Amino acid sequence: MKHLQNTAVVLSLLTVVAVAHDHHGAHHHKRQGPGNGGPVVVAGTITVPPLASITFGMPTAPIPPSTATATPGAIPPFKGAPPLPNPAWAFTPGEWPEMDKPIDATTPQVQEWMKELEGWDIPDIKPTVDGSCVNDTAAAADAAARGWWTCGGYTRATDIVDCPDKMTWGVSFDDGPAEYSTHLLEYLASTKPNPTLATFFVVGSRVIGSPGLLINEYMAGHEISIHTWSHPHLTALTTPQIVAELGWTRKAIQSVLGVTPTTMRPPYGDIDDRVRAIALAMGMIPVIWTRVPNAAAPGGGFSFDTFDWMVAGGLVKGQDSFATFGSILGNASTLDTGFCVLQHDLYEITVDLAIGYTLEAAMSHQPAFKLEPIGQCAKIPTNNMYRESNTNQTFPYKSPPAGLSASGNSGNKSTSGNGKVAQSGNGGNGTTGTSGAIGRSVGLVVVGMAVGAVGAMTI
Ligand SMILES: *[C@@H]1O[C@H](CO)[C@@H](O)[C@H](O)[C@H]1NC(C)=O
Ligand SMILES: *[C@@H]1O[C@H](CO)[C@@H](O)[C@H](O)[C@H]1NC(C)=O
Ligand SMILES: *[C@@H]1O[C@H](CO)[C@@H](O)[C@H](O)[C@H]1NC(C)=O
Ligand SMILES: *[C@@H]1O[C@H](CO)[C@@H](O)[C@H](O)[C@H]1NC(C)=O
Ligand SMILES: *[C@@H]1O[C@H](CO)[C@@H](O)[C@H](O)[C@H]1NC(C)=O
For 258-303, the pLDDT digits (tens) are: 999 999 999 999 999 999 999 999 999 999 999 987 655 555 578 8
Count CB-CB contacts under 10 A for residue 420: 12
Atom of ligand 3 nearest to the CA of 397: 4
- State how far the Cα of 224 lies from the Cα of 73, in Å rounded to an integer: 18
First to last CA, the chain: 25
Cβ neighbours for 355, distance < 8 A, ≥ 6 positions apart? 42, 43, 46, 48, 183, 184, 187
Is it the case that residue 4 has pLDDT exceeding 60?
no
Contact (Cβ atoms closer than 8 angstroms) between residue 235 and residue 128 = yes
Of the candidate ranges 107-116, 130-139, 149-158, the one whose mean pLDDT is the lowest: 149-158
- Measure Cα distances from 174 to 152, 245, 350 in Å: 22, 16, 10
Distance 13 CA to ligand 2 centre (A): 10
pLDDT at residue 329 is higher than 50: yes
What pLDDT sits at residue 7?
A: 32
- As a whole number, mean pLDDT of residues 138-155 equals 92
**pTM of the predicted model as reported, rounded to 2 decimal places:** 0.82
Please compute the mean of the pLDDT values over residues 434-439 and round it to a whole number: 28
Q: How far apart are CA 414 and CA 290, in angstroms?
A: 10
* Candidate of 235, 435, 447, 459 to mutate for ligand 5, largest count of ligand atoms within 8 Å of Cβ: 447
* pLDDT score at 386: 98
Ligand 5 neighbour 132 (Cβ under 6 A): yes
**Measured in angstroms, how far is the CA atom of residue 81 from the centroid of ligand 3?**
19
Atom of ligand 1 minimally distant from the CA of 137: 13
Q: Residues 137-152, buried b or exposed e (16+ Cβ, 10 A)?
A: eebbebbbebbbbbbb
- What's the confidence (pLDDT) of residue 302? 85
Given this model, what pLDDT does residue 445 score? 27
Neighbours of 305 (CB within 10 A): 30
Helix%, strand%, coil% for the chain, nearest 5: 35, 10, 55
Q: What are the E-state strand segments in 106-183?
A: 155-156, 168-174
pLDDT of 141 > 60? The answer is yes
Span 6-28, average pLDDT: 33
Ligand 1 atom nearest 133 alpha carbon: 13
Looking at the CA of 422, which ligand is closest? 4
Question: What backbone torsions phi and psi does residue 299 show, to the nearest 5 degrees?
Answer: 80, -10
User: In the structure, what pLDDT confidence band is assigned to residue 450 with cuts at 50, 70 and 90?
Assistant: very low
- Residue among 287, 270, 281 at smallest CA distance from 240: 281
Q: What is the structure's pLDDT at 293?
A: 76
Average pLDDT value for residue range 419-425: 29
Residue 403's pLDDT is 60
Contact 303, 289 (CB under 8 A): yes
Element (H, E) at 20: helix 7-28
Q: Which ligand is closest to the CA of 1, given by its number? A: 2
| CA dihedral of residues 434, 437, 438, 443 (deg, nearest 10) | 80
8 A C-beta contact, residue 266 and residue 234: yes
Ligand 2 is surrounded, with C-beta below 6 A, by 4, 10, 13, 294, 296-297, 302, 327, 330-331, 334, 455
Q: Judge whether residue 152 has pLDDT over 90.
A: no
CB neighbours of 193 closer than 8 A, spacing ≥ 6?
none
Give the position, in ligand 2's atom list, of the atom nearest the Cα of 294: 5
Question: pLDDT class for 89, splitting at 50, 70, 90?
Answer: very high
Mean confidence (pLDDT) of the chain: 82
pLDDT for 299? 52
- Cβ contacts of residue 81 below 8 Å, gap of 6+? 75, 259, 383, 386, 389
How far is the CA of 308 from the CAs of 353, 355, 392, in angstroms?
7, 12, 36
Percentage of the chain with pLDDT > 90?
A: 72
Pocket of ligand 1 (CB under 6 A): 133, 137, 140, 299, 424, 426, 429-430
pLDDT band at 114; cut points 50, 70, 90: very high
